Amino acid sequence: MHTLNLLVGTSKGLVVYPFHNQKPLTPSVHFKGFPVSMIYVDDRTNTWWAGLSHRHWGEKLHFSLDQGNTWHQAGLPSYRNYEYRPGKAATLKKIWVMQQAGHDKPGCLWLGTEPGGLFYSEDNGKTFHLNESLWNHPSRLDDQQWFGTGKDFPFIHSILIDPRNSDHVYIAVSCAGVFETTDGGKTWTPRNKGLMAAYLPNQSPEVGHDPHQMLMCQSQPDVIWQQNHCGIFRSTDGGKNWLDIGGKNGWPFYGFALAVDNHNPDVAWVIPAESDESRIPANLQLQVCKTVDGGKTWQSKSEGLVQSFAFDLVLRHAFVKQNTFLAFGTTNGNLYYSTDESEIWQSLNQNLAPINSLSIAMS
C-alpha cells in the first residue's frame, strides 16, 4: 500500500509525517529553524517544492526529487527592470503559491508572488519569467483596484488549471479578485461578478475584491469555490457568476481555509473565524463546517476539536484534502487529521511552530 506523506510548512521548518495504513509514522524535519512559507508537490513527477522566507536572505526556493532526502536550490523569480509603479522599483517580497502548468506541459510551472506578479517557468524552475500581460493589466496599475490587505502589496495566492485545457487558468489576488485566461496567459479577464467588497464605497467593483482561497472541483472544473473576505462564494459556470453561499445568521462566513471534494462538486469544507478584526475561531470554538449541497446548508464537523477557549486561526494554505484524508494546521502549532472523511479529528501535534502551509505527497 502507498504511503501518504503530509508535508507541514511551519515558521521553524518543514515537518513531514508519513502515514501508512492510515496510521502516522515517525516524522522527519527539514530546514530546521527556518520559516517555510510555501509547500507544493508536483503530482506529475512527485517533486517536492519548498519556499523559504528568510529574514536576512529573503526568499529562497528549494526542490527535492527524492522525497526530501536531498534538497536543491531552484531559480528565483526576479523583478529586475520592472516597476511596481512609475519610478518605484518592484522587488520580490514573498512566494505565495506554485502550480504545475498541465500534464501536457512537462517542466512548466506557474508561480504566484507578492507584489502581485505571476511567473512562469518552462525548465522545471531553473528560470522564471514574469507574465507581462497580467503585470501590465490596466487594473493592476490602479491603487484603487490592486492593493494590499494586511500587506503592503497585493499578492497572488491561488492558481487553478483547467484539467480539460491547460491554457485555461484562473488566479486569485488579494486584493484585486479573480482573473481568467483562456490563451495561456496572453490576455486576462476579471471574473468577479456576484462578489461583494463591503470595505469599498462601490461594493460591487469589477476589480478590487479579496478572495482568501480559491479551489476547483477537478471532475467538474466549471465549479469553483472561494473563501472570501466578505463571505463564501461558489460558481457553477467557470467564474462568470458567483453566488454567496455563506451560512445563515453569518455562520460560517469569514475565514481563510477551504477544502473541496474533487469528485462531488457539491461538497466542501471551511474553517470559520469570527471576523477580520479579531481573527480567532467563531465563539472561540475550533470548528470545521461542511456542505454536501453546494452551500445551501452547512453542518459543524468538529468532533475531537477544542470547543472552548480556542484561539487558533487556520491560514489559507493550511487545509488539505486527498481522497478521504483531511488535515489542517493552525497558527498556534496544532495539527489535526481525519483519515476516513468522517471529520472525527485526531491531534497529530500540539507543539509545532505556527503552521503556514500543508501539502500531500504519495510514495
Q: Is residue 240 part of a domain?
A: no
> Against a cut of 0.95, is the pTM above it?
yes
> What average pLDDT does range 84-99 have in this prediction?
97
pLDDT of the residue at 2: 81
Q: Residue 73's closest CA among 52, 54, 45?
A: 52
> What average pLDDT does range 277-291 have in this prediction?
93
Q: Tell me the residue range of the domain where 100 lies.
A: 83-214
First and final CA of the chain: distance in angstroms?
9
pLDDT of the residue at 7: 98
342 — pLDDT class (breaks 50, 70, 90)? confident
Task: Select the more confidently predicted residue: 172 or 341.
Answer: 172
- Whole-number percent of the chain with pLDDT over 90: 93
Is the pLDDT assigned to residue 349 strictly greater than 80?
yes
What is the Cα–Cα distance from 289 to 278, expressed in whole angstroms?
19
Q: Is residue 284 part of a domain?
A: no
pLDDT tens for each residue of 217-242: 999 999 999 999 999 999 999 999 99
Q: What is the CATH number of the domain that holds 101?
A: 2.130.10.10
Q: Is residue 353 part of a domain?
A: no
Q: Is residue 67 part of a domain?
A: no
> What average pLDDT does range 130-156 have in this prediction?
95
Torsional sign, CA 306, 8, 51, 119: negative
Q: Is residue 118 part of a domain?
A: yes
Q: Residue 330's closest CA among 306, 295, 303?
A: 306
Is the pLDDT assigned to residue 62 strictly greater than 70?
yes
Q: Is residue 229 part of a domain?
A: no
Residue 21 CB neighbours (<10 A): 9
pLDDT tens for each residue of 2-57: 899 999 999 999 999 999 999 999 999 999 999 999 999 999 999 999 999 998 88
pLDDT of the residue at 150: 79
149 — pLDDT class (breaks 50, 70, 90)? confident
Contact 95, 51 (CB under 8 A): yes
pLDDT tens for each residue of 107-127: 999 999 999 999 999 999 999
Is the pLDDT assigned to residue 310 strictly greater than 80?
yes
pLDDT tens for each residue of 254-272: 999 999 999 999 999 999 9
Is the pLDDT assigned to residue 1 strictly greater than 70?
no
Q: Is residue 156 part of a domain?
A: yes
Total domains present in the chain: 1
Cβ within 8 Å of residue 335, ≥6 positions away: 8, 327, 328, 329, 347, 348, 349, 350, 352, 355
Is the pLDDT assigned to residue 341 strictly greater than 80?
no
What is the Cα–Cα distance from 83 to 97, expressed in whole angstroms?
22
Is the pLDDT assigned to residue 204 strictly greater than 70?
yes
Cβ within 8 Å of residue 13, ≥6 positions away: 29, 30, 31, 32, 33, 34, 36, 353
What is the Cα–Cα distance from 148 to 210, expressed in whole angstroms?
9
For residue 30 the three cell numbers come to 527539514
Torsional sign, CA 122, 124, 130, 134: positive
Q: Is residue 69 part of a domain?
A: no
Is the pLDDT assigned to residue 206 strictly greater than 60?
yes
What is the Cα–Cα distance from 58 to 49, expressed in whole angstroms?
17
What is the Cα–Cα distance from 61 to 53, expressed in whole angstroms?
9
What is the Cα–Cα distance from 106 to 102, expressed in whole angstroms?
7
Q: What is the 3-state secondary structure (H, E, C) of the chain?
A: CCCEEEEEEECCEEEEEEEECCEECCCEEECCCCCEEEEEEECCCCEEEEEEEECCCEEEEEEECCCCCCCEECCCCCCCCCEEECCEECCCCEEEEEEECCCCCCCCEEEEEECCCEEEECCCCCCCEECHHHHCCCCCCCCCCCCCCCCCCCEEEEEEECCCCCCCEEEEEECEEEEEECCCCCCCEECCCCCCCCCCCCCCCCCCECEEEEEECCCCCCCEEEEECCEEEEECCCCCCCEECCCHHHCCCCEEEEEECCCCCCCEEEEEECCCCCCCEHHHCCCCEEECCCCCCCEECCECCCCCCCCCCCCCECEEEECCEEEEECCCCCEEEECCCCCECEEEECCCCCEEEEEEEEC
